[in-house]
Amino acid sequence: MRIALAGSFAQLAKKAEQQKTSISVPKEPVENPPLEIYMLGNKVLRTPATRISKVDSSIRELAKKMLTSMYSAKGIGLAAPQVGIDKRVLVIDLDIENPATPPHVFINPEIISSSASIDTYEEGCLSIPGVYLDVIRPSSIKISFRDEMGRPKKMNADGLLGRCIQHEIDHLNGILFVDRVTEQDNLKKELKENGFSYKDVNNIN
Ligand code: ZN
């Protein structure tokens, strides 16, 4: 009985470990991240990404490389177009200092509904380092997506997670947070101070 129990615990532990390892990578920054993050002005950021028809090991491998690159840049979210890859994949981790918290991987994410209530929150982006500006967005959203095993899922998200998902889904559509900034004078100043050009903004307000 004892042995059987130990056996089943071991199996459960192994199962949990396998589930975790499918999308988990060390969170410590690496010297040579596997993927290069492109900056505002590069046209890869403006190309809408294509849907993934089959979630296989190559997609899981991509998510892992994206996570390592994101952790190395000390970011909390990264979309595949930011690393020049034309695929609808997002990775998010709001707890980058804690190795025990698993990240989020969203494949083919779609916003199904958005709240009427809105929030203003200061956003930044790994593709526009140094620039932090207020953006208005719905306070909460409902999304559909596929997980890293291709299983269809739905979830509600608000707070920082909801904000981050909306920012990253924009990337999949070639939209950057600076396109949504309403304060144009602040935007021009911040971009200039950080070496970016206002000409690369597509204001959608
Ligand atoms: Zn971004």
Ligand 1 center–CA 83 separation, angstroms: 11
- pTM (2 d.p.): 0.89
Per-residue pLDDT of the chain (205 residues; tens, 9 = 90+): 444 445 455 555 554 444 444 688 999 999 999 999 999 999 999 999 999 999 999 999 999 999 999 999 999 999 999 999 999 999 999 999 999 899 999 999 999 999 999 999 999 999 999 999 999 999 999 999 999 999 999 999 999 999 999 999 999 999 999 999 999 999 999 999 999 999 999 999 8
Ligand 1 center–CA 81 separation, angstroms: 10
CB 71 within 8 A of CB 29: yes
CB 133 within 8 A of CB 186: yes
Ligand 1 center–CA 76 separation, angstroms: 9
Ligand 1 center–CA 7 separation, angstroms: 45
Strands, E, within the chain: which ranges? Answer: 77-79, 89-92, 104-114, 118-123, 133-138, 140-146, 152-158
Dig out the tokens for 135 from the structure: 């953006």
CATH topology of domain 22-200: Peptide Deformylase (3.90.45)
Return the residue matching tokens 């950057």. Answer: 176
Active-site residue identified among 31, 61, 122, 168:
168
Domain boundary assignment for the chain: 22-200
